[in-house]
Amino acid sequence: MNTPLMVRSLLAAALALAPAPALAQEDAPGSPPETPPGALPEVPRPASPAGEVLVKASESIRGINSITFDVSMRGEGLLATYAPILQARVVAVRSPTNPQTWLIRISGSGKLAPDKPEGAFDAGFQEHFIEWVEPAERKLLRRAPRPQPRSETLRHAQHLRMDWIFAPVAFSKELGVAVNGKLLDDAEVDGELCRVVEVATLGPSGGTRRVYVGLEDGLVRRYDQIVSGQLDGRTVFQLSGVDAFNPIDPSETRVPVPAGFEAEAEPAPPGPTTPVAATPDATAPTVTAAPPPPPPAPKYAVPFELRTAAGETVTLDSLRGRPAVLFFWGTWSLPSQDAVPALAALRARHDPAQLAIVALAVRERVPAAAADFLQRENAGFSTLLHADATAAAYDVRAYPTLLLLSPEGQILYTVEGFPSGATLDELADKVNAALKPAAGSA
Band (25; pLDDT cuts 50, 70, 90): very low
Interior angle at CA 203, CA 398 and CA 37, nearest 5: 85
Strand 182-189 relative to strand 192-200, pairing: antiparallel
Q: What is the mean pLDDT of residues 43-60?
A: 94
Q: What's the confidence (pLDDT) of residue 235?
A: 92
List the single range of 220-229, 270-279, 421-430 with lowest mean pLDDT: 270-279
| H or E element in which residue 173 lies | helix 172-176
Q: What's the confidence (pLDDT) of residue 272?
A: 53
The dihedral built from the CA positions of residue 42, 46, 49 and 53, taken in this order, carries a sign that is negative
Q: What is the mean pLDDT of residues 82-92?
A: 94
Q: What's the confidence (pLDDT) of residue 148?
A: 61
Interior angle at CA 160, CA 12 and CA 255, nearest 5: 125
Strand 220-227 relative to strand 208-214, pairing: antiparallel
Q: What is the 3 state secondary structure string of 330-395?
A: CCCCHHHHHHHHHHHHHHHHCCCCCCEEEEEECCCCCCHHHHHHHHHCCCCCCEECCCHHHHHHCC
330 close to 361: Cβ distance less than 8 angstroms: yes
pLDDT digits 0-9 by tens, 283-338? 555 555 566 666 667 788 999 999 999 999 999 999 999 999 999 999 888 888 88
- Residue 418 DSSP one-character state: S
Band (147; pLDDT cuts 50, 70, 90): low
Residue 359 has pLDDT above 50, yes or no: yes
Please tell me whether residue 253 adopts helix, strand or coil conformation. helix
- Domains in the chain, start-ordered, CATH in brackets? 45-253 (2.50.20.20), 305-440 (3.40.30.10)
Whole-angstrom distance, CA of residue 238 vs CA of residue 224: 9
Band (10; pLDDT cuts 50, 70, 90): very low
Q: What's the confidence (pLDDT) of residue 390?
A: 93
pLDDT digits 0-9 by tens, 386-431? 999 999 889 888 889 999 999 999 999 888 876 655 556 677 778 8
Whole-angstrom distance, CA of residue 131 vs CA of residue 138: 13
Residue 218 has pLDDT above 70, yes or no: yes
The percentage of residues in the chain with a pLDDT greater than 70, rounded to a whole number, is 79
Residue 19 has pLDDT above 60, yes or no: no
Q: Residue 226 forms beta bridges with which residues?
A: 208, 234
Q: What's the confidence (pLDDT) of residue 439?
A: 54
Residue 4 has pLDDT above 90, yes or no: no
Orientation angle between helical segments 334-349 and 3-17, nearest 10 degrees: 90
What are the Cα distances from residue 52, in Å, to 55, 186, 196, 221, 403?
5, 15, 12, 17, 44
- Residue-wise DSSP of 21-90: PPSS-PPPTTPPPPPPTTSPPPPP--SSHHHHHHHHHHHHHHT-SEEEEEEEEEEEEGGGGTS-EEEEEE
Q: What's the confidence (pLDDT) of residue 435?
A: 79
Whole-angstrom distance, CA of residue 239 vs CA of residue 220: 8
Q: How many CB atoms lie within 10 A of CB 365?
A: 13
Residue 35 has pLDDT above 70, yes or no: no
Q: Which among 10-14, 31-35, 223-227 has the top mean pLDDT? A: 223-227
Q: What is the mean pLDDT of residues 130-141?
A: 94
323 close to 356: Cβ distance less than 8 angstroms: yes
List the single range of 70-74, 203-207, 250-254, 380-384 with lowest mean pLDDT: 203-207
55 close to 79: Cβ distance less than 8 angstroms: no
Please tell me whether residue 398 adopts helix, strand or coil conformation. coil
Q: How many CB atoms lie within 10 A of CB 111?
A: 15
Q: What's the confidence (pLDDT) of residue 145?
A: 81
Whole-angstrom distance, CA of residue 204 vs CA of residue 145: 27
Q: What's the confidence (pLDDT) of residue 5?
A: 43
Q: Residue 106 forms beta bridges with which residues?
A: 90, 123
What are the Cα distances from residue 194, in Å, to 43, 189, 203, 226, 329?
21, 7, 27, 18, 36
Q: What's the confidence (pLDDT) of residue 74?
A: 95
List the single range of 77-86, 88-97, 291-300, 318-327 with lowest mean pLDDT: 291-300
